[in-house]
Chain A
Amino acid sequence: ELKVEQNPLFLSMQEGKNYTIYCNYSTTSDRLYWYRQDPGKSLESLFVLLSNGAVKQEGRLMASLDTKARLSTLHITAAVHDLSATYFCAVDAGGNTPLVFGKGTRLSVIA
């Protein structure tokens, strides 16, 4: 059974600082996704990572995938308040297996 673990689960960061969220998963997969969720809202797709070594960047967020280590990272650069949200990673093991989500990282950016 595919398990996805994120850490940390809670993160309070100061504006302007950098930090990394980690996502580990338990079985082979070449597809990993990052989503953002604001309280009570839908899941907004941030990144789709499809192969080993994939790196994608959008604004202050950069995501990478290491399929050999079964690890993805979401790096936040020079955090701003607008980045406060919950971030989820999700892994697709292929076939008819469903997308499995981590528990999410609740990020709070404070002045």
Chain B
Amino acid sequence: DSGVTQTPKHLITATGQRVTLRCSPRSGDLSVYWYQQSLDQGLQFLIHYYNGEERAKGNILERFSAQQFPDLHSELNLSSLELGDSALYFCASSVDPNYGYTFGSGTRLTVV
């Protein structure tokens, strides 16, 4: 157990639907990062939050949004889902990049 908790582990949903992925960082880590992993695109950065504030945004679609709550857990909302959104979604947390980044076990999203 890495200490970064992601739920759910698997999600199957239909096109056009909306889902919420949840991430709880390791105790003490203020930063949360979201990544999407697909076979064709590899690991793509989506968004970074630090202590509730958005710090950096990657190639995140407008249909996707995220937030980090006062208790530091984060949620990634994906709406108007398309088949191409099927992927593994990871969150990672960090207290300091000099100590590295710890990844959760991921949420496997399948859009049918």
Contacts and interface: CB of A to CB of B under 8 A. Distances in A.
Contacts, number: 52
Interface residues of A, number: 24
A31 B108 CA distance: 29
- State the majority secondary structure of interface residues on B: strand
Interface string A79-103: 0000000001010101011111111
Contacts of B90: 42-43
Contacts of B64: none
B74 interface: no
B56 A40 contact: no
B104 interface: yes
A63 to B, nearest CB: 13
Interface of B: 2, 33, 42-43, 45, 48, 55-56, 58, 88, 90, 92, 97-106, 108
The 10 closest A-B pairs by CB, nearest first: A98-B45, A101-B43, A43-B103, A48-B100, A96-B56, A42-B105, A96-B55, A103-B42, A42-B103, A92-B97
